[in-house]
Structure 1
Amino acid sequence: MHAAPPRATRIQVAWAYVEHDGVPLRDRLARHDLAAVFGYLKSIGMSWAKIGAAVDLTASRVSEIAHRKRIATEYRVLERIATGLGIPRHLMGLSHAEAHGPEIAPPTTRAAPVDTHELLAAVAGIAVGAIPAAVHRLLPTMPRTSAPAVVTAAEVDTVEVITTVHRRRDAVAGGGACLASARAYAAWATRLLDADGLTETLGLRLHTALADLHNLVGWLAHDLDDHHTARRHLTQSLVYARTAGALPLLANGYYRLGRVSLHQGRAQEALHLFGLGQLVAQQSGCHPSVAILHTNTAWAYALLGQETQVSDHLVRARDELAQADPRSAPTWTQFALDPADLHGISAVIHTELARHPHHHHHADTALEHAHHAVALRQPHDQRSRIFDQISLAAASILTGDLAAGGRHATTAVDLAENGMTSARVTDRLDALWALVSPHHDEPEIAAFGQRINAPR
């Protein structure tokens, strides 16, 4: 049996200069568009089998990726593809190390607990323009990895694309599908701050890109109920955003920190964080950011059963959205401009309010919003589709339609079992069962109970 030739000699492509379908392949590589990469290789005469042999994937999987039936985001898989195809690693935003050993792999353990009192004091200082020296105790410990000796606009472009790719993956499959990969990229991207060539303008761009990436890593950790890791990365995002003067992104960090508290039932803590975010958002003049914080403030007040404050903040949110220009809205605020999302979060808010004895009449409003959200939600936003079905089930139960509530609850489970790895989804399904379980004699609810209580 003869030895296979080294992979580097199998494929000779000038990746930084060739085009496919009129688009430079380096742009496709930065976006991890492997369908275009494999399609290009196919167009120059390579079979799926030969490509697969080079990158250690089956021919069928290469074909599925090429035809956009599957995507590859896991860091080690992307490393293997870069090595097998002879792609310069920086074109894909990968570390320049030949392989990732344990010393630079993303941590598999959860972060040490965060003292929330210390956290609130520190982030309050950041909101008014000061970065406390002691904030370092609240930041994530990043594994050491190698990075380019010189940073250029291309590396910053790559950080931005990496964030976009992982954000889309999270919406489709949850934090469990991409947290490890995103943390590995964050370790690499953070090292760019130590590289040469960082001008003032490029430095501001890099700090903004890092703030967005750490913001996303924090959100992915939150989606897996790893709240200490979430708070550390979100606080890191605040530090970078403040350094860059990126006020809308800074406001977004406070919104997400507040959501972590909200998920844990700490409504007053969430209100404090949303208030800090609102201070920054108002300064930024970013209408979508202001609207997001008003909407989530309404959610916190709904948990507390304070109807007047809920209505007030929802009205303010709608007024801000009416003034927003989708063309100039930052990427991380775009979701708030989607009518499906506005109906979806409104359904959640009114459902929470309806669970308080004196505000049961909000159940009808929740049901109306939930129906609109389900009708408008796009298929690629899988996790939000599940949340919409959960809201529809809860609102149906609260309005007395037990059979419909059971059916929508089961639909939510069906969607959740279709590749979704999100602890938040599991938590909300459990909370839904707690609401509907008193009606377990209803056949549709009994069916939901059997599904939700099966081993998961």
Structure 2
Amino acid sequence: MPDADRPQELPAKLLTDPEMISACRARDFARVFRLVKTRAGIYPSMIARRCELTPSRVGEVIAGQRRLSHMDVIERIADGLRIPGHMLGLARRTWETPQALVVTECEAPQEPESSKRTPASLPGPDVDSILALATRTSLSAATLEAFRSSIEDYWRRDDQHGGEALRPAIVGQLRYVVGLLKESRPPSIQNGLYQIAAELACLVGWTYFDARQYNQARAYFTEALQLATEVDDRQFIANVLACMSLQATYQDKPADSLALVAAAQDQARSSLGSTPRVLSMLSMREAFAHATLGNRDSTHRAIGEAHHQFGQIQTSDLDPSWVTYFNEPKLIVDTGIAHGRLGEAETAEPLIADALRREDRTNQRGRAFHAFWLARTQLDQGKLDQACRTATHALEPASAVASERVSGHLREFYDQLAPHRQEPVALAFEARLREFLPPVSGSIRP
């Protein structure tokens, strides 16, 4: 097939559209072909040529008169339309890896015939025998713990470096776990797999949110909700809705943010196992939504409820692992940010400063993010020297993490600095900015 006939890739908006993701997961090629036609302009005759199908066969599929289920045909569709393998439940396709990174397999030296021995207990080298052996491998509680440990490690590295480089590995593990869900297993194992898949989908959504790729984030958050709903994990449903609420504040949709966090709180309250730490975190997200709307009294009330719930935490509480990050420094810094969103800079500054002193130094993104918030509250009070010093200290952790959210807060501080751009302390900050970071966007040209 000539390269000119083969698109390099489908539009990212199509590949991350929930409808396309759903169609691919179900291998519903009638929907896939229709979406490819309407969203990418690839017509049935082109689909047929690129996927090595007859035009009449493609037409029958689109009309719902034929289903495609043979693996070799599915692989041709993935390769012809450049649909990533994981979306169709396939292994990673060779074209998904840049040619410079492809490792060429080398044939091992041939052994002498006399040295070749195949123990009777081992399967033959054919694919069916290998897959039959793989299906005899059972999952245990220890396997689930290994998955959970890997998720905790992903979160830790996301805090340190950002999620951009981690995302392919997390997506791969998500698709692997979703594949395991298709097999029949004991309820305890199956439920655990659903919870793990939901956490992985939420983590992928978070990495897209942190990159400010909001449509993709929403698609994965929605998948996480669907997976958690399968096992009625209402606490985790509340967690995903809280993530979506936070995203809505960044998209300047405060009404959506408030509606989402209200739904999250309803889910948490209807769960018998919701802990004070979970409820405290949700109240703080509610405070963010009210503050973005400018509802002063409601913000203060939500902050008070967050601190009340946090005060109820007991060492014996069985907190889910995904909420353990919400410790006292996090409560304090979020309280400061909520006041800052309301324009109450004088109240916000000492809270954020105190939390920064106590924050884990390995959390590069959190330290940069909160330091820029502190600098903005100082600038709001006319403390130019302090603000520039604080922002300068934030540059080192900011340069260590790939996070468009952090870059966005840097841009906002830089724009806020505009009236003071010729002051010596502002010029010194800009000089340090040039050393640490390339221009973050067109709005930053030191």
Q: TM-score, normalised by structure 2?
A: 0.67
Runs of 4+ aligned structure 1 residues displaced above 6 Å come to none
1:62-81 CA-to-partner distances (Å, cap 9, x unmatched) read: xxxxxxxxxxxxxxxxxxxx
Which residue matches 2:89?
A: 144
CA contact (8 A) 1:267 1:303 kept: yes
The letter of the residue matching 2:427 is A
2:424 pairs with 1:443:
yes
CA contact (8 A) 2:246 2:257 kept: yes
Which residue matches 2:183?
A: 195
1:358-403 CA-to-partner distances (Å, cap 9, x unmatched) read: xxxx211111111111110011111111112112101111122101
The letter of the residue matching 1:255 is A
Partner SS state of residue 270, structure 2: helix
2:286 pairs with 1:297:
yes
2:244 pairs with 1:257:
yes
RMSD: 2.7
Partner SS state of residue 335, structure 1: coil
| Aligned mates of 2:427, 2:294 — CA distance in 1 | 30
Post-superposition shift, 1:323? Answer: 1.3
The letter of the residue matching 1:325 is Q
| Aligned mates of 1:202, 1:421 — CA distance in 2 | 35
Which residue matches 1:17?
A: none
| Aligned mates of 2:243, 2:231 — CA distance in 1 | 19
2:211 pairs with 1:266:
no
Which residue matches 1:27?
A: none
CA contact (8 A) 1:255 1:273 kept: yes
CA contact (8 A) 1:159 1:189 kept: no
The letter of the residue matching 2:215 is H
CA contact (8 A) 1:305 1:353 kept: yes
Post-superposition shift, 1:264? Answer: 1.2
Post-superposition shift, 1:442? Answer: 2.5
Partner SS state of residue 246, structure 2: helix
| Aligned mates of 1:107, 1:318 — CA distance in 2 | 48
2:357 pairs with 1:375:
yes
2:126 pairs with 1:181:
no
Q: 1:294 to 1:111 in 2, by over 3 A?
A: farther
Which residue matches 1:286?
A: 275
Question: Please, which runs of 5 or more residues in structure 1 have no aligned partner?
Answer: 1-105, 116-136, 355-361
Which residue matches 1:161?
A: 149
The letter of the residue matching 2:276 is H
Which residue matches 1:246?
A: 233
| Aligned mates of 2:247, 2:88 — CA distance in 1 | 24
The letter of the residue matching 2:183 is A
Post-superposition shift, 1:209? Answer: 1.1
Q: 1:112 to 1:445 in 2, by over 3 A?
A: farther
| Aligned mates of 1:372, 1:158 — CA distance in 2 | 36
Post-superposition shift, 1:346? Answer: 1.6
Which residue matches 1:28?
A: none
2:327 pairs with 1:346:
no
Q: 1:423 to 1:244 in 2, by over 3 A?
A: same
Partner SS state of residue 194, structure 1: coil
1:337-416 aligned within 5 A: 338-354=327-343, 362-416=344-398
1:193-229 CA-to-partner distances (Å, cap 9, x unmatched) read: 1234x11121111111111111111111111112112
| Aligned mates of 2:325, 2:192 — CA distance in 1 | 23
Aligned residues: 320
